Amino acid sequence: MVKQSGTTRINDDEWYTPAETADKIAEWLATTGNLKPKEAYILCPADILPDGSESTLPQALRRRGFQNIRVTRDLPMDALFADYQAGEVIVTNPPFSLLCAFRKWLYETQTKYCILSRPDTVRGFPVIETGSSFYSTDGRGVAAAWMQNLADTRKPVPDGLELGNCADCERKACPRNAMTGHWTPGRPRKLYGWCHAVKHGINGSWCQQYTTNGKRSFSRFFDESPLV
């Protein structure tokens, strides 16, 4: 995946999930995620490591009691040739260099998932318990959250945490995309930064064109995301 720290970028897909984080995800899936360990079918693609062993995610799922787990090396990205069986829930920490094609496949097939994602990448709701930063097994950190479409995790946001409001946007039209293409600026809609959005379960929709005082802001997240 791509690490961002200030203005420094390091291209690297080798960010492995610590066992502690994998255990939190497994526990979340069995509780808040409403997956029954004896009944759910889970696919962990891209979870065979270079040495041929399994990643920490399928191991954690088995420790939690999940019985129907399939582990592969490749992300499903092609509608005709994807290694995917109907009804499987995808749980993985994907290589972010492949995420655009993987994301498109997820949306087109309406597959259920719980995956690690950078900001502005995958729609859905965050797993609040794992926070807005991800730390690899080697200690490196990156802004990322586990996004999923299994449960609505939104909760009330205290006043004063917003970083803007669509009512103040100076654009004449909203960006034409699946999230904002049917809107017009000037209507009240609170916008939040990444950390507060993840903390309150609302970071699955975003705008990268919020403009005030003639300047465009960094991505802002808002509460308008249905389960996808």
For 180-203, the DSSP string reads TTT--TTS--EEB-HHHHHHTT-T
Q: Is the pLDDT of residue 227 over 70?
A: no
DSSP H or E stretch at residue 115: strand 113-117
Give residue 6's pLDDT band: very low, low, confident or very high (50, 70, 90). very low
Distances (CA, A) of 214 to 77, 98, 192, 193: 39, 34, 19, 19
Q: Encode pLDDT of 25-61 as tens digits.
A: 999 999 999 999 999 999 999 899 889 999 999 999 9
Q: Is the pLDDT of residue 9 over 70?
A: no
Domain ranges of the chain: 2-148, 164-222
Q: Are 129 and 104 in contact (CB under 8 A)?
A: no
The average pLDDT across 57-86 equals: 94
Give the class (CATH, top level) of 2-148. alpha beta
Give residue 141's pLDDT band: very low, low, confident or very high (50, 70, 90). very high
What's the whole-model pTM score?
0.88
Q: What is the dihedral of CA 181, 205, 61, 17, to 10 degrees?
A: 110
